[in-house]
Structure 1
Amino acid sequence: MTQQDRQRVAAGLADGLSYAEIARRLERPTSTISREIARNGGPANYRPQQAHQATSRRARRGTPAPPREATPPVDAMAEEVIEMAVRTGLPRMTARVRVDLLLSEDGRRTAAELTRRLQVSPASVSVAVNYLVQNGYVRRERDPQRRRDVYVLDDEALYRSIVIGSQPTLEMAKAATAEAEAFGPESPVGQRLAKAGMFLERVIQDTIESADRWRALLA
């Protein structure tokens, strides 16, 4: 990469762009951007001038790349999964926490571990895990020995998230049906609301029944 490329990487990080978006703007693979940032201080400490000088020194010494970079880095793979989660509507910080749990060996992290690994504030992790717990993506366990919470992404997480995520739409369907009655079933507005309520209720019921039917696949 040229020094100008590295300056654009730093600018992208400062603007909060994802690795994938920075790569797109530089017309380079996401894995290249991920490796560049990972071996030069990470997203919080990346400095383009120092990165360029360090790369030049490594080239002069003929220093081999670290073993971790000889294979596709986890950061690059994780970034792609994060981007997909964000496109579904998940907040980016929340998506980062969820993906880090997903890619962990046992699906378990403490808040301190998440803070250290993602290089973010404890408050950011707290907001993210609370969202994930409330929406069924992860569950909270208490470690009695160390008196701290452990966040767990288990095999039932997908099932819980589908069931919990269906509830707001089901409530919307019931509200539409109630409003249809209030406007009168013969009125144009009442008929429109009744159709919408019936459609939403049937779709959500089918979704929950399907989740129940295939739940055993997660066991």
Structure 2
Amino acid sequence: MPHPDPAPEEISQFVEHFAGVLANSGVPTMSARVIGRMLVSPTGTLTSAELAESLRISQPAVSGAVRQLLQVGFITRERIPGSRKDHYRIRDDVFPAILERRNSALAEWESTSRSGAELFGLDTPVGRRLCEAADYFAFIHRDLEQLIRSWRVDHPR
């Protein structure tokens, strides 16, 4: 028995809840809403006008979010034959891509913490605190990197 399609209001509630979860983890709010909406699009593509209408936001808000998502490579722009409008497609691997960006940040946090530990001296309270932070960031970075690699091996596109 096929699953019934959710009602438009249920879809909107899901998108807003999903976007809130992404926003709480550091994804800009409008970008999180666009990701959430594109994720539940049957085709994975939407135009700016469709995004604005379905999210009930202004065209400039959509434009800013789309520009940011294009810059970080979470969505792509494409033309559909016969259409003069740009269509935006969410990457199939958007979540590994998000975590890869986060993992790059962890490497920077580690490097910055280590340089701070050296600046203040490893034998000082500040230096020890920064060294422990650097060790933690290195640990998480290594494990997350391995998890992402394993995911890609197990789930090739």
Q: Which has the larger radius of gyration?
A: 1
Closer/same/farther in 2, CA of residues 82 and 134 from structure 1, 3 Å limit: farther
Aligned to 1:107: 44
Whole-Å separation in 2 of the counterparts to 1:128 and 1:204: 27
CA 71–144 in structure 1, closer or farther in 2 if over 3 Å, else same: closer
Q: Does 2:139 align with 1:217?
A: no
Give the aligned length: 149
What letter is aligned with 2:66? V
* Partner Cα distance (1:158, 1:111) in 2: 22
Q: Does 1:208 align with 2:142?
A: no
In structure 1, the residue matched to 2:20 is 86
Alignment gaps of 5+ in structure 1: 1-69
2:79 alignment partner, one of 135, 140, 143: 143
Q: Which residue of 2 aligns with 1:170?
A: 107
Distance 1:166 1:147, change over 3 A: farther
CA contact (8 A) 1:155 1:218 kept: no
My pick for the range that moved more, 90-99 or 159-168, is 90-99
Q: Give the conservation status (yes or no) of the 8 Å contact 2:70–2:77.
A: no
TM-score (norm 1): 0.59
Q: Which has the higher contact order (CA 8 A, sep 6+)?
A: 2
Maintained 8 Å contact 2:48/2:86 = yes
Q: Does 1:76 align with 2:13?
A: no
SS in 1 for 2:155: helix
- Would you say the 8 A contact 1:110–1:151 is kept in 2? yes
Q: Which runs of 5+ in 2 are unaligned?
A: none
Question: TM-score scaled to structure 2, two decimals?
Answer: 0.79
Identity percentage of aligned residues = 28
Instruction: Report the counterpart of residue 179 of structure 1 in structure 2.
Output: 116
Alpha-carbon distance between aligned partners in 1 of 2:80 and 2:7, rounded to the nearest angstrom? 35
Q: Specify whether residues 218 and 86 from structure 1 end up closer, same or farther in structure 2 by C-alpha distance, changes over 3 A only.
A: farther
Structure 1 residues 49-60: aligned runs within 5 Å? none
